[in-house]
Amino acid sequence: MWRYKRPPTARRLWGLAGLSLIGLAASAPGLTGADDDPHLAPVPPGAAQAVRAARALRPVRDFSAPEPFEAQPAGAATVQRGDRQAFAQPAANLDFETELDFRTGKALFEKLWVSAPSSTLASDGLGPLYNARACESCHIRDGRGHPPAPGEMPAGLVLHLSQPGPAAGPMAAIPGSHPAAPDPVYGRQLQTRALRGLAPEYRLSIADDAIEIPLSGGESVTLHAPRYALNDLAHGPLDPATRISARTAPQMIGLGLIEAIPAAAILAGADPEDADGDGISGRANITWSMDHQRPMLGRFGHKAAQPTLRDQSARAFADDLGLSTPLVPDGWGDCTAAQAACRAAPHGDGDARVFEVDDTGLDLVTHYVRDLSVPARRAPDDPQVLQGKQVFYDTGCAACHRPKFVTRVLPGQPAQSFQLIWPYSDMLLHDMGPGLADGRPEGRATGREWRTAPLWGIGLTETVSGRASYLHDGRARSLLEAILWHGGEAQPHSDRVIVLPPADRAALIRFLESL
């Protein structure tokens, strides 16, 4: 029988929060020196704060009414928006000066970059190969990307590339780490666009295989398994050892709050050997931080391959837009040594900026994504929503989609400090079975493992992005499809959804739509 995996108490978490992650080697062996980001060093809470946190994190027992503060998934940072701009709002508790930085970072996030050389020196350096001209082009209104429609040029979906490589440096001490080397010709990902004089690396087309799933009550749902065709490859076939993974751009909300969750709180939920026998493991991804030059807990991306928002932002600038930063300084972006014409093309890093996106610009974009808030819940007290919440727990969804955390006390970041948040994710890796497997290891994640996706804001996906698409590659066109793709550790839970009475299944979807 499934048992709800009760989260650790807040007192235990606060006791761990200031410790090095070395002491948590049972959950993440070999994580020597991978403390939390030092500029986010937590302040030990007072006794009253610890008691409040413990009370807030108690598991739900009563499904007849919403839990206290459940309507505010981002705590005091929650915004009251439910329209197309719901994901593009600053945290409600930002001070005036921080909001000014947010607005400046937003302008950089939305900026359309141009090729070099250009008279607009602050905006040149695009490419030479790239997938989009602006961050906003993939993260539509800060929401999810989606697969392209037939004949449409992809922007919100990219194909990541890698080959198995030998472990080196400090990462060699991390058991289970899978170093990823780029394709020797095409690099870390395939780019669909190129500056004049160069050819795009490929043209993507997608076909679907339909899979009919019968449900209880005479209902059914059709799943769509994508098949990717890589046409017009500019430099010949990919290397036979190269593995491919399609990834859609994730939504941007609440990322600063995720970064502020104590690493100890995430690691305390890991159960890699399934010691409690509930069928759910959960493993931490440990990855290299370019910013801090050491292994750290991975939090961001579909496989939790990035440890901080600054790392994530720098990698996206390089791979998606071909822009150099202090963390990824190559002006040619993802061009490899085999792409000589690309590397020889003009770049925009030869002026006073030094890098195409300098340290200040990288910081401002990082501030922007850190301070994007989460919209308030819709109708959390609706009877059908409450019924669906109980179904969510009864079917075992909460075992991985952990409802709530309390963030750290952070000097200089009051908007993220000591907030009760409801991301509905344990931030850990789980085996999702062969149906979702990409066969591409990343860090400690295997080819079948994915980070539990946060569910906050998921009910506004179509409103914000203009199209409903879910999972790492956007294959699911409804929330029910997304649930039924769950395999591996989650197979028993998706099986329970199949046999639910139709009214309970509808209530579950209504609950998810309220998040």
**DSSP letters for 391-448:** HHHHTTGGGTS---EE----TT-TTTTT-EE-------EEE--TTT-----BBTB-TT
In this structure, are 261 and 242 located in the same domain?
A: no
Instruction: For residue 264, give the amino acid letter.
Output: A
pLDDT in tens, the chain (515 residues): 344 454 444 333 333 332 223 233 333 434 433 345 544 455 556 677 777 888 888 989 999 999 999 999 999 999 999 999 999 999 999 999 999 999 999 999 999 999 988 877 778 899 999 999 999 999 999 999 999 988 888 889 999 999 987 777 888 888 888 888 999 999 999 999 999 999 999 999 999 999 999 999 999 999 999 999 999 999 999 999 999 999 999 999 999 999 999 999 999 999 999 888 888 999 999 999 999 999 999 999 999 999 999 999 999 999 999 999 999 999 999 999 999 999 999 988 766 678 999 999 999 999 999 999 999 999 999 999 999 999 999 999 999 999 999 999 988 898 999 999 999 999 999 999 999 999 999 999 999 999 999 999 999 999 999 999 999 999 999 999 999 999 999 999 999 999 999 999 999 999 999 99
CB 430 within 8 A of CB 282: yes
pLDDT for the residue 217: 97
| Token representation of residue 187 | 């690099």
Strand duo 157-164 + 286-289: pairing: unpaired
286 to 19, 21, 271, 342, 455: CA distances (angstroms): 17, 11, 15, 33, 22
Residues whose CB is less than 8 angstroms from the CB of residue 423 and which lie 6 or more positions away in sequence, other chains included: 73, 254, 257, 258, 402, 404, 405, 454, 455, 456
Residues near 13 by beta carbon (within 8 Å), at least 6 away in sequence: 53, 262, 264, 265, 268, 406
Q: What is the pLDDT of residue 35?
A: 44
Give the separation between CA 337 and CA 231, rounded to whole angstroms.
22
163 located within any domain? yes
Cα dist. 413→52, 96, 118, 296, 500 in Å?
20, 13, 37, 21, 44
- pTM above threshold 0.85: yes
Residue with tokens 């440096």: 169
The boundaries of the domain holding residue 323 are 96-209+234-250+306-369
Q: Evaluate whether residue 277 is within a structural domain.
A: yes
Cα–Cα distance measured from residue 448 to residue 475, given in angstroms and rounded to the nearest whole number: 16
In a domain, 89, yes or no: yes
Same domain assignment for residues 15 and 83: yes
Question: Within this chain, do residues 102 and 132 fall inside the same structural domain, yes or no?
Answer: yes
Q: Distance between CA 472 and CA 159 in Å, rounded?
A: 11
In a domain, 406, yes or no: yes
Query: Could you tell me if residue 222 is inside a domain?
Result: no
Distances (CA, A) of 391 to 267, 329, 378, 385, 457: 27, 49, 18, 10, 19
Domain end: 348, 369, 390, which one?
Answer: 369
Do 358 and 421 lie in a common domain? no
Q: If we measure between CA atoms, which residue out of 316, 295, 296, 430 comes closest to residue 362? A: 316
Rounded Cα distance between 134 and 305, Å, is 22
pLDDT reported for residue 18: 29
> Is residue 472 helix, strand or coil?
coil
Spatial CA neighbour of 254 closest among 455, 389, 411: 455
Helices (H) and strands (E) in the chain, counts: 14, 13
Task: Report pLDDT for 172.
Answer: 84
Q: Are residues 490 and 411 in the same domain?
A: yes
Q: What pLDDT score was predicted for residue 43?
A: 58
Q: Cα separation of 269 and 400, whole Å?
A: 9
**Last residue in a domain, options 369, 400, 415:** 369
For residue 292, is it within any domain? no
280 and 379 assigned to the same domain: yes
130/156 same-domain check: yes
Looking at the fold, whether 460 and 500 belong to one and the same domain comes out as yes
Residue 350 lies in a domain: yes
Tokens 């509905």 identify what position? 424
Neighbours of 501 (CB within 10 A): 11
Task: Enter the tokens of residue 402.
Answer: 């952990």
Same domain for 399 and 313:
no
Examine the fold and report which residue of 347, 369, 391 is the final residue of a domain before the chain moves on: 369
The total number of residues written for the chain in this structure: 515
Decide if 297 contacts 307 (C-beta within 8 A). yes
Q: How far is CA 3 from the centre of its chain?
A: 27
CA 212 to chain centre: 29
C-alpha span between 436 and 473 (Å, rounded): 9
Distance CA 2, CA 279 (A): 8
* Beta bridge mates, 246: 159
Question: Residue 493's CB: how many other CB atoms inside 10 A?
Answer: 22
In this structure, are 503 and 481 located in the same domain? yes
CB 176 within 8 A of CB 444: yes
3-state secondary structure of 9: coil
Please tell me what DSSP assigns to residue 55: H
Same domain, 194 and 177: yes
State the Cα–Cα distance between residues 231 and 419, nearest whole angstrom: 48
Task: Give me the number of domains the chain comprises.
Answer: 2
pLDDT attached to residue 14: 35
Q: Which pair of tokens denotes residue 245?
A: 């993974």
Residues 413, 273: one domain? yes
Q: Tell me which residue of 471, 426, 484, 477 sits closest to 452, measured CA to CA.
A: 426
- Answer whether residue 190 is part of any domain: yes
The pLDDT, as a whole number, for residue 12 is 37
Does residue 436 contact residue 472 with C-beta atoms inside 8 Å?
yes
Q: Which residues contact 184 (CB under 8 A, 6 or more apart)?
A: 163, 239, 336, 338
